[in-house]
């Protein structure tokens, strides 16, 4: 890992962890009473796990930076990704059963509406011809 990346911490992680935080935690009455030795072991384990979380967050941040650099080198921009995501989503929508049924229903309704308007238009035209011929 690069030296510059070691200080990076993800914004959603806890920034202040340490022995002070561990010591300030009050023992809940529902927790079984632990011996002083067990408490010390748990505090040590907590500190180790918190350190691991910080390390993993730093590694993740470095990997995210690496992904961004690779995408930039490949010419993959956020706009291109958005276009691809929208295209893929639209394709998934248009191939769904619900979309197909809705599309078929609207097509039938459109055909019926067209036939009705054509019929009504013809009837109105005949009426006007009848009125003109009288």
Query: For 89-124, what is each residue's pLDDT tens digit?
Result: 999 998 999 988 898 899 999 999 999 999 998 889
Burial code (b: 16+ CB inside 10 Å, e: under 16) for 91-109 equals eeeeeeeeeeeeeeeeeee
* C-alpha–C-alpha distance, residues 131 and 115, integer Å: 24
* Proportion of the chain in helix, strand, coil states, percent, rounded to 5: 75, 0, 25
User: Do residues 5 and 58 touch, judged by C-beta distance below 8 A?
Assistant: yes
Q: What is the pLDDT of residues 83-94, one digit of tens each?
A: 999 999 999 998
- The pTM score is 0.42
% of the chain beyond a pLDDT of 90: 54
| DSSP, res 96 | S
Per-chain mean pLDDT for the chain: 83
* C-alpha–C-alpha distance, residues 27 and 38, integer Å: 13
User: Do residues 54 and 17 touch, judged by C-beta distance below 8 A?
Assistant: yes
Scan for tokens 């961004």, then name that residue.
68
| Tokens encoding 32 | 């079984």
* C-alpha–C-alpha distance, residues 104 and 115, integer Å: 17
């Amino acid at each position: 890992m690069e030296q510059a990346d070691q200080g990076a911490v993800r914004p959603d992680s806890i920034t202040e962890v340490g022995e002070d935080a561990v010591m300030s935690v009050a023992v809940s009455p529902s927790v079984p009473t632990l011996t002083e030795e067990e408490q010390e072991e748990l505090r040590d384990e907590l500190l180790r796990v918190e350190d691991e979380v910080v390390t993993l967050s730093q590694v993740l941040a470095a990997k995210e930076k690496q992904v961004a650099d690779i995408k930039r080198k490949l010419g993959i921009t956020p706009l291109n990704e958005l276009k691809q995501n929208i295209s893929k989503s639209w394709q998934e929508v248009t191939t769904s059963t619900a979309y197909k049924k809705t599309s078929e229903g609207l097509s039938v309704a459109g055909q019926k509406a067209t036939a009705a308007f054509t019929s009504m238009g013809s009837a109105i035209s005949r009426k006007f011809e009848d009125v003109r011929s009288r």
